[in-house]
Structure 1
Amino acid sequence: MAVNGDSRARWRYMDHILTRPGAYTDPEWGEGIIGTLENAKVLVIGAGGLGCEILKNLALSGFKSIDVIDMDTIDVSNLNRQFLFRQSDVGKPKASVAADFVMKRVPGCKINAHVCKIQDKDEEFYMQFSMVICGLDSIEARRWINALLVGMVDYDNDDSLKPLIDGGTEGFKGQSRVVIPRMTSCIECQLDMHAPRAAVPLCTLATIPRQPQHCIEWAHIIKWEEERKDIQLDTDDPEHITWLYRTALKRAQEFGIQGVTYSMTQGVVKNIIPAIASTNAIIAASCCNEAFKIATSSAPALANTIPEGVDPETYDPDEEFAPAPNNYMLYTGDNSIYTFTFGHKKKPDCPVCGNLPKDLTVPGDQTLQELIESFAERPEAQLKKPSLSTGGKTLFFSSPESLRQQTEGNLRKKMRDLMEDGEEVVVTDPAFPTEFKYTIHLT
């Protein structure tokens, strides 16, 4: 059996699935679906533990056109689970090495590597793909790509709708989810499932550090602002991480604290959770299974827009108690093997895909400074450098420094002196391409 001169012996089992309709085949399924799979253009974000597994799975499933984007280089600590890399690859770009490895093992598969940050690419770049698969270790990066893909949707152009498949692992736990922008709940809708990490009191960091992590946070939060405040901290820049590591190490030595390392510095600053190879393999398999179903219509994907068994004629997703379609899969492997799939509802006040501002009750005698600090800990916000404005005036700019100096006088003022009850405030953060809108209720 040959197609276009290439032997398809490798894909005979896949062809068996794609040439015969199944019990759950989508109505759009039909002849020529193999060509649809081969022509699907997929973007994989991240070439680490999850990314390596995802790239391998996609190539072996018959996807021929893949791009991968990652700005990191290979560290020796990656070799125990990121199996596309070898000792000789240490120091090389992850994206390039992973792409070359897979293309050598799977002839006919073309993978383009991009060694850069996802923020370096524009909408035109992302518009060329059929779908995007994320294997990221950063909540901020997930939120950025989610907001971009939702913002790209043009209801008059079907090609502007790019499904987002997101995978994540944390030790023996993991999740996969599918987002159909503007149709299902997005990552921002689900943000409260990722609670912000507990903050260490500044007094502990500044005076009595007891753990190596305290020394790193001191360098990160306090010392950087004192000595390098004119430089925007980039946690993906090796020079910045090295500066933080050396600064934290010096402080640890002053207090007789052991254990500060470069890898720990990177993990604390980026909030990286140690990964386990088996969990990565399971979650990557789930993500690629969803990509396969979306590309071929051979079975329902996680992101069905109507829950199974519900009459499409009467289904209204905006009803308060309306069931949500299954779009989120949880895996727990630290106590036996457990998976659970459920529907996460779209939120009408989601700042990315919703159309209503979120209600926020604030004490009238709370200062603007206290309100700004609370945005870092609010599960639905998790903003590090928020700027606030109302319809009539700017309350505070976090950057650049010149604008910050002009508005920092408001930080000590009480909220009742800055705005009226029921007024809408717009919050922005340089890390996200979206606005967060709140209706402030003063008490």
Structure 2
Amino acid sequence: MRVSVDENQSERWKDIRRFTDRPSAFAHPQFDAGPQNMEEIHKRRVLVVGAGGLGCEILKDLALSGFKNIEVIDMDTIDLSNLNRQFLFRESDIGKSKAQVAAEFIEKRFDIIICGLDSITARRWLNAVVCNLVEFDNGQPDFSTIVPMIDGGTEGFKGHSRIIIPYITPCVECTLDLYPPQVNFPLCTIAHTPRLPEHCVEYVKIILWEKEKPFGDEAIDGDNLKHVDWICEKAQERANEYGIQDVNHRLILGVLKRIIPAVASTNAIIAGSCALEALKLASNISISMNNYLNFTDIEGVNFGVVQLERNPECVVCGRAALTYTASSSTTLSEFLQEIKNKHQLVDPTVKGAGDMLYIINPMMPQMEDVSKANLKKALTG
């Protein structure tokens, strides 16, 4: 029996069409049942950031949900420290505002962004970019310039998914306290009184690698077997010296690459939630969740959706200016350290009355010497 292309296509999406082609009591008020909804899903442009365990599940679910225009950025290929250069920027953008270029890129190319990262730093950067592209009219956000972001994350048997509508729902920065800080060990403990197997690995990574330079000027590469073997050998020697057990390749890779334990079933559940929210946004078949889903199956399966609130003092989506008081002798370096500690920033850019005071950007190397020289100057200088 022959089956036409149209019949094949109809059969392929029949389960999705049960929701897109029929009226529903759970649909969004703007929902209009009909075949045009499936066509809209096909046309929507989706960016998936992260193609690890969670990201791959998200990609599969999106494809099975009818999305055809999908682009993916994988953090194993694009180094985190180079995200802003390799992900969005080109040579023609040198000298332009990073926020402006990134916003223009996303606004032109994508309707929905799904974040499947295990990096808080990358989440914050992408969140800032998405918020920066929103334009305002009489103090109100222009909805035509908003690109929604769906964020998913997993750790062992726990996970979350959330939907971020810039300036409408809380952004990543508003709820930064939900994310645990990265674990760092005191250098004095690593060097003199190691007690954990992780201390031994960190000692080799931070101190011994630079001291012995086993592979010349090569930086540590967690994917290079020779590097890992050398670190394993030295870490075991260190562990034996202090009577520490359980130093092995698995532990070393976890420390070097900051690997977060992954469970396939957790990834599948959170990915399904992310893809479902994307489907809702693209077709209005249902109202989006409001706005944070928490999942755990440590002791039975438990789901919970909570409505997080925006932080009016958020440095990304808060509209109010924040005021800091400093003495006349406070240096730029001291001021930077204060705002870094308060807002968990890494390398914030500081601009004075028309002049750039501090910016560390690989695309503007000429500014590095000027920026570092300004660190010693007083704010009133």
**TM-score normalised per structure 1:** 0.64
- Gap change, CA 1:402 and 1:260, over 3 Å in 2: farther
- Gap change, CA 1:187 and 1:268, over 3 Å in 2: same
Amino acid at match of 1:204: T
Verify the 8 A CA contact 2:155 2:262 in the aligned structure 1: yes
Q: CA deviation at 1:247?
A: 5.0
**2:259 pairs with one of 251, 269, 272:** 272
Verify the 8 A CA contact 2:73 2:87 in the aligned structure 1: no
Amino acid at match of 2:125: W
Q: Which residue of 2 aligns with 1:49?
A: 53
Q: Which residue of 2 aligns with 1:126?
A: 106
**1:175 pairs with one of 160, 164, 173:** 160
Q: Which residue of 1 aligns with 2:126?
A: 145
Q: Distance in 1 between matches of 2:43 and 2:204?
A: 48
Q: Distance in 2 between matches of 1:354 and 1:196?
A: 23
Amino acid at match of 1:337: V
**2:117 pairs with one of 130, 136, 150:** 136
Verify the 8 A CA contact 2:332 2:376 in the aligned structure 1: no
Amino acid at match of 1:275: A
Q: Distance in 1 between matches of 2:226 and 2:315?
A: 35
- Gap change, CA 1:214 and 1:254, over 3 Å in 2: closer
Q: Which residue of 2 aligns with 1:11?
A: 13
Deviates more, 1:168-177 or 1:386-395: 386-395
Verify the 8 A CA contact 1:138 1:272 in the aligned structure 2: no
Residue 373 of structure 2 corresponds to residue 406 of structure 1? yes
Q: Distance in 2 between matches of 1:365 and 1:69?
A: 45
**1:70 pairs with one of 68, 71, 74:** 74
Within a 5 Å distance, the mapping from 1:291-302 to structure 2 comes to 291-302=278-289
Q: Which residue of 2 aligns with 1:27?
A: 29
Within a 5 Å distance, the mapping from 1:109-124 to structure 2 comes to 116=78, 118-119=83-84, 120-122=86-88, 123=102, 124=104
Q: CA deviation at 1:288?
A: 0.9
Verify the 8 A CA contact 1:196 1:382 in the aligned structure 2: no
Verify the 8 A CA contact 1:249 1:260 in the aligned structure 2: no
Give the fraction of aligned pairs with identical amino acids, expressed as a percent.
Answer: 40
Q: Distance in 1 between matches of 2:357 and 2:211?
A: 24
Verify the 8 A CA contact 2:220 2:227 in the aligned structure 1: no
Q: Distance in 1 between matches of 2:178 and 2:132?
A: 22
Deviates more, 1:242-251 or 1:173-182: 242-251
Q: Which has the higher contact order (CA 8 A, sep 6+)?
A: 2
**TM-score normalised per structure 2:** 0.74
Q: Which residue of 2 aligns with 1:106?
A: none
Deviates more, 1:251-260 or 1:170-179: 251-260
Verify the 8 A CA contact 2:350 2:358 in the aligned structure 1: yes
Quote the RMSD (CA, aligned, Å): 4.0
Q: CA deviation at 1:398?
A: 7.6
Verify the 8 A CA contact 1:45 1:135 in the aligned structure 2: yes
- 1:229-282 alpha-carbon deviations (Å, 9 max, x no partner): xxxx9998856x975874575254245256555654453355332011111111
Amino acid at match of 1:282: I
Runs of 5+ unmatched residues, structure 2:
89-101
Verify the 8 A CA contact 1:45 1:133 in the aligned structure 2: yes
Within a 5 Å distance, the mapping from 1:145-164 to structure 2 comes to 145-155=126-136, 158-164=143-149
Within a 5 Å distance, the mapping from 1:373-388 to structure 2 comes to 381-383=343-345, 385-386=346-347
Verify the 8 A CA contact 2:49 2:117 in the aligned structure 1: yes
Deviates more, 1:18-27 or 1:198-207: 198-207
Structure richer in helix, relative to its length: 2
- Gap change, CA 1:363 and 1:389, over 3 Å in 2: same
Verify the 8 A CA contact 2:151 2:162 in the aligned structure 1: yes
Q: Distance in 1 between matches of 2:370 and 2:131?
A: 30
Q: CA deviation at 1:388?
A: 7.7
- Gap change, CA 1:368 and 1:39, over 3 Å in 2: closer
Q: CA deviation at 1:20?
A: 1.0
**Number of equivalences:** 341
- Gap change, CA 1:226 and 1:153, over 3 Å in 2: farther
- 1:378-414 alpha-carbon deviations (Å, 9 max, x no partner): 5x6333x44585858999888987457636657xxxx
Within a 5 Å distance, the mapping from 1:282-297 to structure 2 comes to 282-297=269-284
Verify the 8 A CA contact 1:50 1:281 in the aligned structure 2: yes
Verify the 8 A CA contact 1:172 1:276 in the aligned structure 2: yes
Q: Distance in 1 between matches of 2:336 and 2:191?
A: 21
Within a 5 Å distance, the mapping from 1:409-424 to structure 2 comes to none
Residue 199 of structure 2 corresponds to residue 199 of structure 1? no
Amino acid at match of 1:284: A
Verify the 8 A CA contact 1:219 1:244 in the aligned structure 2: no
- Gap change, CA 1:212 and 1:404, over 3 Å in 2: farther
Amino acid at match of 1:64: K
Verify the 8 A CA contact 1:149 1:181 in the aligned structure 2: yes
